[in-house]
């Protein structure tokens, strides 16, 4: 049995109830086979892969808070500090009822390689809670965030672990968490990213994941002789990633005709109106049927009632920007049947392994999330730099840095894939390129 197979078997046995984590590990370790083969005995002796798959630290805690009726509610909080070989732990906080340790571990594991690909000094971590922000009042959100940070604040710090946003955690939540951290620790430091502009946030951080996704997608298309201008694009999701992906795609001359939320999706034959979408999602915090009600060219589809989704719509480029495993094999078949040329993941692991392999078999260009959505965390690292030097960079400076980081990521993953004989396989390329730097640092730092 090869070393990779041995480790895979051990990881499966040890984490049997965490399918998302196993899915992420399986994809990465399978891609690393050609790199591991070169130094198999050495890596095995040093248990490099076992260490890579075991978080350095996992914190699980009670989050009690009081709702607007005076009722005490209790949620579970998590922070997984996965790998600090190349920098302080860095990764978002997910607030969603689906959160359990397996989700946080999968996200933290992905973050190790994603953060490495940015070329910046950030390790991998992730946190969250099973708290559901939907339908909560501002006061309830603040109560929850303060309680969450009351425990988390003893485990994080500007040079230790720097959380940020993710699903359910946006600017409002980061503000409340930052206020509580400062109050308890009496430190004004860059302990969180995605902060408001008046207290250490970076210009372009809000846009960064979506913009970065398009910078990388555009580079991938260009390198394969395809012009993004005039192409029809389907986007899923209607959160921060989706909104700014749609905006940048339109600026590049493409036409984005779909977006979705947890209950339904929109087809807008004239192209999504980003200003209206922002108003509905960011200001009113309403559902997408409100978009269709306000826009004659748009049709709203109820997901459950119709059993349909955005991948039914023919497009040249598909950008899944909602959540993990939202695009399965049936969706992949529909997209390929409709002639899709490229898929790039704005969310973390939105495509199942089976669907990913199907796209690759059919010659569809496929950019995995750890490369394609790295723009958010890359910009977070730029926010950390600005906080450290107590300076504020212009929007243009941050955006230009972001663009060059994303273009570099594409060329690095492309080169890594080619070097190991997998030309055009950007999944293999991203995993190998992300791994190499982390492995080098881990080996240099000894058995820790």
Instruction: State the residues that interact with ligand GLU by CB under 6 A.
Output: 90-92, 164-166, 193, 348, 376-377, 380
Least Å distance, CB 323 to ligand GLU, is 11
Least Å distance, CB 90 to ligand GLU, is 5
User: Which is catalytic among the residues 126, 231, 248, 370?
Assistant: 126
User: Using CA atoms, how far apart are residues 87 and 241, in angstroms rounded to an integer?
Assistant: 25
| Between 91 and 264, CB nearer to ligand GLU | 91
| Between 192 and 298, CB nearer to ligand GLU | 192
| Between 193 and 356, CB nearer to ligand GLU | 193
| Between 165 and 264, CB nearer to ligand GLU | 165
Least Å distance, CB 363 to ligand GLU, is 28
Least Å distance, CB 207 to ligand GLU, is 13
Least Å distance, CB 423 to ligand GLU, is 27
Least Å distance, CB 430 to ligand GLU, is 14
Least Å distance, CB 92 to ligand GLU, is 3
Looking only at the bridges linking them, the beta strands covering 264-268 and 298-302 are antiparallel
Looking only at the bridges linking them, the beta strands covering 342-344 and 317-320 are parallel
Q: Residue 379: how many CB atoms within 10 A of its CB?
A: 30
**Is 303 one of the annotated active-site residues of the chain?**
no
| Between 123 and 264, CB nearer to ligand GLU | 123
Residue 240 half-sphere exposure, CB side, CA atoms within 13 Å?
Answer: 19
| Between 167 and 313, CB nearer to ligand GLU | 167
Which residues are CB-neighbours of 38 under 8 A, at least 6 positions away? Answer: none
| Phi-psi region at 240: left, alpha or beta (left = phi > 0; alpha = psi -120 to 50) | alpha
Q: Do residues 78 and 93 lie in contact, with contact meaning Cβ atoms separated by under 8 Å?
A: no
Least Å distance, CB 354 to ligand GLU, is 23
| Between 165 and 429, CB nearer to ligand GLU | 165
Cβ-proximal residue to ligand GLU, closest one:
92
| Between 360 and 386, CB nearer to ligand GLU | 386
Structure-token pair, residue 250 = 């339109």
Q: Which residues are part of the catalytic machinery? A: 126
């Amino acid at each position: 049995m090869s070393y990779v197979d041995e480790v895979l078997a051990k990881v499966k046995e040890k984490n049997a109830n965490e399918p998302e984590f196993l899915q992420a590990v399986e994809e990465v370790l399978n891609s690393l086979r050609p790199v591991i083969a070169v130094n198999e005995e050495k890596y095995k002796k040093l248990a490099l892969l076992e260490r890579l798959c075991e978080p350095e630290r996992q914190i699980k805690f009670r989050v009690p808070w009081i709702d607007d009726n005076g009722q005490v509610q209790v949620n579970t909080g998590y922070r997984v500090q996965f790998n600090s070989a190349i920098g302080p732990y860095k990764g978002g906080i997910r607030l969603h009822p689906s959160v359990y340790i397996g989700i946080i571990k999968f996200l933290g594991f992905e973050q190790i390689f994603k953060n490495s690909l940015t070329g910046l000094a950030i390790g991998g971590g992730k946190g969250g809670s099973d708290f559901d922000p939907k339908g909560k009042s501002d006061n309830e959100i603040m109560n929850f965030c303060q309680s969450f940070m009351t425990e988390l604040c003893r485990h994080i710090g500007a040079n230790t672990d720097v959380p940020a946003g993710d699903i359910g955690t946006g600017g409002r939540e980061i503000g409340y968490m930052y206020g509580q951290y400062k109050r308890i620790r009496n430190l004004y430091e860059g302990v969180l990213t995605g902060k408001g502009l008046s207290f250490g946030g970076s210009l372009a951080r809000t846009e960064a994941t979506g913009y970065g996704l398009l910078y990388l997608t555009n580079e991938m298309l260009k390198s394969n002789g395809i012009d993004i201008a005039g192409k029809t694009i389907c986007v899923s999701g209607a959160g921060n990633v989706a909104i700014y992906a749609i905006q940048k795609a339109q600026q590049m001359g493409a036409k984005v005709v779909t977006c979705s939320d947890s209950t339904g999706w929109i087809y807008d034959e004239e192209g999504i109106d980003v200003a209206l979408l922002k108003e509905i999602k960011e200001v009113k915090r309403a559902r997408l049927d409100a978009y269709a009600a306000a826009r004659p060219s748009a049709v709203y589809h109820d997901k459950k009632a119709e059993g349909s989704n955005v991948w039914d719509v023919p497009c040249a480029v598909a950008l899944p920007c909602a959540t993990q495993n939202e695009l399965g094999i049936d969706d992949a078949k529909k997209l390929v049947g409709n002639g899709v040329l490229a898929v790039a993941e704005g969310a973390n692991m939105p495509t199942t392994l089976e669907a990913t392999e199907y796209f690759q078999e059919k010659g569809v260009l496929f950019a995995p999330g750890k490369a394609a959505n790295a723009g958010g965390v890359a910009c977070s690292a730029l926010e950390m730099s600005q906080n450290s030097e107590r300076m504020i960079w212009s929007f243009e400076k941050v955006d230009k840095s972001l663009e060059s980081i994303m273009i570099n990521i594409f060329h690095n993953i492309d080169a890594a894939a080619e070097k190991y004989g997998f030309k055009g396989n950007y999944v293999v390329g991203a995993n190998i390129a992300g791994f190499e730097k982390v492995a080098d640092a881990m080996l240099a730092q000894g058995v820790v």
